[in-house]
């Protein structure tokens, strides 16, 4: 009696490898868009609460925001409403100050923020890859070159730089659809 050795076909070997890879990805919770859908992963949190970032680090909801009396102050005219902002100390805020005064046409985005393009990009030197802004943050979205006024809860996203804290009637920002926002140094 002769014995033949059964060798699996190359197709079966590759099919087995592919199936194992799919199961591994499913078991670890990875997905092709894991880095592009942080809102689904991070969820929302109240101000002051720590949240995880895609790289496993964390960001605090308040990260020691500047108080209304500390730091450089801006005056923002949002439609018929007046607000102020206190800036953090960074290369991005230095670049913003160099562009003032400026009027920006802003649009609503996601019912949580107003966005509008700045005349020139801001430096992101020394900034983390992204941030998890809280209601009342003044921010910059680097990929689009937009100044951002956060009036609702936005989760962590790469490219967000927190510039400072808004003071005043934050809810009034959400009452406008498209609005011109005048940003200038406060006296």
* 41 three-class SS: helix
Whether domain 73-185 has CATH 3.30.70.1530: no
Q: Write out pLDDT tens, residues 107-124.
A: 999 999 999 999 999 999
Contact between 101 and 182 (Cβ < 8 Å):
yes
Structure confidence by residue, pLDDT tens digits, 47-89: 333 333 333 333 334 455 555 567 899 999 999 999 999 999 9
pTM score: 0.66
pLDDT grade for 145, boundaries at 50, 70 and 90: very high
Q: Cis peptide before 101, with omega less than 30 degrees from 0? A: yes
10 Å CB burial of residue 134 (0-12, 13-18, 19+) is: buried
Q: Which residues contact 37 (CB under 8 A, 6 or more apart)?
A: 31
pLDDT tens-digit map of 148-169: 999 999 999 999 999 999 999 9
Q: What are the beta bridge partners of residue 58?
A: 52
């Amino acid at each position: 009696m002769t014995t033949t050795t059964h060798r699996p076909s190359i197709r079966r070997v590759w099919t087995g490898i592919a199936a194992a890879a799919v199961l591994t990805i499913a078991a670890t919770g990875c997905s092709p868009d894991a880095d592009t859908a942080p809102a689904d992963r991070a969820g929302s949190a109240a101000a002051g609460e720590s949240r995880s970032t895609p790289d496993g680090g964390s960001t605090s909801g308040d990260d020691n925001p500047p108080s209304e009396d500390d730091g450089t102050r801006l005056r923002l005219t949002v439609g018929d409403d007046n607000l102020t902002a206190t800036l953090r100390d960074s290369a991005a805020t230095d670049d913003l100050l160099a562009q003032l005064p400026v009027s920006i046409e802003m649009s609503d985005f996601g019912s949580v923020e107003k966005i509008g393009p700045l005349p020139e990009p801001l430096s992101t030197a020394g900034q983390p890859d992204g941030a998890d802004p809280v209601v009342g943050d003044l921010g910059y979205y680097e990929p689009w070159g937009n100044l951002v006024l956060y009036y609702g809860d936005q989760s962590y996203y790469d490219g967000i730089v927190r510039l400072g804290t808004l003071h005043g009637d934050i809810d009034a920002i959400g009452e406008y659809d498209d609005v011109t926002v005048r940003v200038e140094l406060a006296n």
